[in-house]
A and B are shown apart, each in its own frame.
Chain A
Amino acid sequence: MPRRLLLAAFSLAAVAILIGAPSAFADAITPESGGSPNADDIDTLYKLTFYIGIVIFLLVEGTLIWSLVKYRARRGGVADQIRGNTPLEIGWTVGAATILVVLTVVVFLYLDDIESPPASGPNGLSASQAQFASVDQPDPPKSGGPILRIRVNGQQYLWRYDYPGEGQLFSYEEMVVPTNTTVVLELEASDVIHSWWIPKFGPKADAVPGYVNETWFKVPEEGVYRGQCAELCGSGHADMRAKVVAVSPDEFEQWSDRKRQEIQAAGEDLAEQRKQREESEGD
């Protein structure tokens, strides 16, 4: 009797944990999200699969543990000599296949939203801010505001970001982007393979030397989003961090103007120094 009581208490506790856990640790058992619509879709897709998985998990573990407890050998007990059951076996084969077909349909319903960059929002970077519209840019996939294409280059052990437009604009490690604007990243690497990932933005994408890979995000809120390289790239791999600072489109404009001027000034400075050195060497 105490044993049965113990078992009951144990299963009650297990059920309580299973019911309580999702709300208490929701963050710990689902992907990060909120930084971009594709991250939210990935989160939803993950959760759907996870819930189906939980049902299957409980079914399998339940029957397994029940069989192990219930059918322990007893004195004089005789095991049923069952060799199979064709309808049952066909049943669970078809059942498993059906779940996967449903899952496939669900995945394809979400796929386009995750994969294709949408148009920028109305309060994103506006079309009049023409300096970011590069000529060779392909048409936006859906009608709407312009998208910002940033070329990302992975190098041991930092990221370089090159912005489009008149006058050079680039930065290292910290990427500044406008909110509500679709940002498409064109990923390259100049030495070994790296992988770009900001968890709150959802997808990661490998930067492979010799290839250009693509991913996108669209940040709804201002803030700092952190991530790190996700493909082993050498001894500094763990320290290859990435940081995205999302600011309002106006602030972004100011930042980019200032930065462009700084870069230009630095370039002119350098040219001036070189000229002076050449002159002094020429003397």
Chain B
Amino acid sequence: MEAGTAAGERRAARPEIALNGLRPERRGWLRWLTTTDHKKIGILYLFATFIFFILGGVEALLMRLQLAQPDNTLLDPETYNGLVTMHGTTMVFLFVVPVLAGFGNYFVPLMIGARDMAFPRLNALSFWLLLFGGIAFYTSVFFEPPQAGWTMYPPLSDDAFSAGGGVDAWIFLIHLSGISSIIGAINFIATIHNMRTRGMSWGRMPLFVWTILVYSYLLVIALPSVAAGVTMLLTDRHFGTAFFDPTAGGDPLLWQHLFWFFGHPEVYIMILPVFGMISEILPVFARKPIFGYKAIAASTVAIAFLGLLVWAHHMFTTPTPTVVLAFFMLASFTIAVPTGIKIFNWIATLWRGQIVMKTPLYFAAALPGLFVIGGISGVILAIFPVDWYLHDTYFVVAHFHYVLFGGSVFGLFGGLYYWFPKMTGRLMSDALGKLSFWLMFVGFNVTFLVQHSIGLEGMPRRVYDYDESLGVGTYNLISTIGAFVLGIGVLVTVVNVLISIKRGQRAGNDPWQGNTLEWFTTSPPPPNNFDVVPRVRSVEPMKDIRREVAAAATPGETVSQPVAPRSL
């Protein structure tokens, strides 16, 4: 009944963006190739980045196999260094950053009640640039993958020490994915500033949209720095310049400054939108409003600002004056405050709620629990004298995996389970979801908790081999076993997606009793998203609507929109 009337209205609706009339939609695979619909582009992003995630994961497992025992000979050092570089680059540039662009693409317009992004064709360009950047990078597997690490420090990455084309493929990827991200970021900024529906003031904007806005500004500020850096590296390699070549008056540390001026904000680019996601998920499943909405929005902006001032904490062991080190230590300390505020706010959101224990909540609630470990090790690493010991050891590897896997990836999986019904119209299996969660949670901690100890015992990162006398053989074996459990956990979610996409239980418009406008429309939403958009009166427009509908409904009358199809 609800579908009938909604569909009737949908056909009659006039699209909001109609420059030269509405083009007829293509059929078959051409539909995906030529689409400018933010939802289809979002799906393309999610699909492509997930493939890259699997590739990066396989690379990680190969490395873990090599490290499972001391003096292992499974991989030679060149292959191992190639895997180190591919894994880092893939996860940062081809998974976490673009997968967030995917979620943002799909849900920002829906959450602000818009009918598409501000520049739909630029949006398509963003995706295709990213995909071809990724393909260009991965073709290097067939000749010589880059081996200088994802940070690509010169002189090692210069032509004298990395003559093969792998570094050039990497530079190509950074340029293409960089242009893709900048265009995408401008698109998000224009959309969020201009296309919010009636009544959605800044103080009523969903927190996920807040974080995507901040993510976009950070991308616009940070990416030009690395773009400049890789261009200089390219001319150093092929056109005779010597920006980073000390034998001709260049400076290798200049690269590190340019790279980390981008690289550290990149960390927040990768985590802030995920913070936004769980700020949406936790209140829905706790049946409570978010605790301290303004504090969470403000702390996002504060983290982004401070995140631009801490880049040299990646360079504590370089020849740098103490006063500079002290500044970057204090700036890094400061970030702990807004981050702590967020964690306390999330816990306070759960406090005295009525928590519905579904898969999205599992992943979302794991985030503060795991991120706090990465946060504490982050403060330890920010103390530069202590970093002199820990820098470039497995302790650092453990730290940033707690932040990026325990934080970003767990949050992203929460987002996937939360929004999958909106994107496909079907729920994912809760049993498989929880199985996947527990495998991932246990596997993750087994893999990375012990890596703190591996680092403290003195094992540097990025080594293909270690001596038995270092005494970390057992720890490494534990870590490898954990990595495979983690891998199986991820695989269970892949299977869950494949099963649920065809056979999942029908979700209806609003399976979770959500707070934000994406739950107002059908699942999946029609091409124009909304026929009518309600006026927004609070930060939880759907809650207002449910209340109004409940008040208006007289006994015996069926309520068609937008009540959950079944109780939870």
CB < 8 Å neighbour of A235 from B77, B348, B389, B453 = B77
Contacts of B149 in A (CB 8 A): 232
A7 beta carbon closer than 8 Å to chain B: no
Contacts of B334 in A (CB 8 A): 100
A229 beta carbon closer than 8 Å to chain B: yes
Of A30, A214, A228, A238, chain B has the most CB atoms within 10 Å of the CB of A238
* Chain A interface category by residue count: 35 or more
Binds A, one of B232-240, B378-386, B482-490, B493-501: B378-386
B171 beta carbon closer than 8 Å to chain A: no
A41 beta carbon closer than 8 Å to chain B: yes
The answer to whether B379 and A84 have CB atoms under 8 Å apart is no
Residue of B nearest to A211 (CB): B319
Binds B, one of A42-50, A121-129, A158-166: A42-50
Binds B, one of A110-118, A130-138, A142-150, A273-281: A110-118
CB < 8 Å neighbour of A195 from B156, B392, B466, B475 = B392
A29 to B345 CA separation, bound complex (whole angstroms)? 30
Contacts of A92 in B (CB 8 A): 340-341, 344
Given contacts A31-B389, A53-B376, A208-B253, contact A80 B288 (CB under 8 A): yes
B317 beta carbon closer than 8 Å to chain A: yes
Contacts of B383 in A (CB 8 A): 45, 49, 103, 107
A203 beta carbon closer than 8 Å to chain B: yes
The answer to whether A204 and B291 have CB atoms under 8 Å apart is no
The answer to whether A192 and B155 have CB atoms under 8 Å apart is yes
Residue of B nearest to A90 (CB): B295
The answer to whether B354 and A235 have CB atoms under 8 Å apart is no
Residue of A nearest to B288 (CB): A79
CB < 8 Å neighbour of B318 from A28, A63, A213, A226 = A213
B456 beta carbon closer than 8 Å to chain A: yes
Question: B residues 345-361 with Cβ under 8 Å of A?
Answer: 345, 347-348, 350-357
B388 beta carbon closer than 8 Å to chain A: yes
The answer to whether A209 and B155 have CB atoms under 8 Å apart is yes
A227 to B84 CA separation, bound complex (whole angstroms)? 22
CB < 8 Å neighbour of A42 from B318, B385, B452 = B385
A210 to B242 CA separation, bound complex (whole angstroms)? 13
The answer to whether A238 and B465 have CB atoms under 8 Å apart is yes
Contacts of B355 in A (CB 8 A): 67-68, 71-73
Question: B residues 69-99 with Cβ under 8 Å of A?
Answer: 77-78, 81, 84
The answer to whether A45 and B386 have CB atoms under 8 Å apart is yes
The answer to whether B289 and A82 have CB atoms under 8 Å apart is yes
Binds B, one of A54-62, A173-181, A257-265: A54-62
A245 beta carbon closer than 8 Å to chain B: no
Known pairs A100-B379, A234-B81, A235-B78 / 18 extra A-B pairs, C-beta < 8 Å? A31-B390, A32-B458, A53-B377, A53-B379, A53-B380, A64-B368, A67-B350, A71-B352, A79-B354, A83-B289, A85-B291, A88-B348, A89-B295, A191-B161, A206-B318, A228-B463, A235-B147, A241-B467
Q: Which 10 A-B pairs have the closest CB atoms?
A: A210-B246, A203-B388, A199-B458, A238-B463, A53-B376, A213-B319, A79-B287, A209-B246, A67-B350, A80-B352
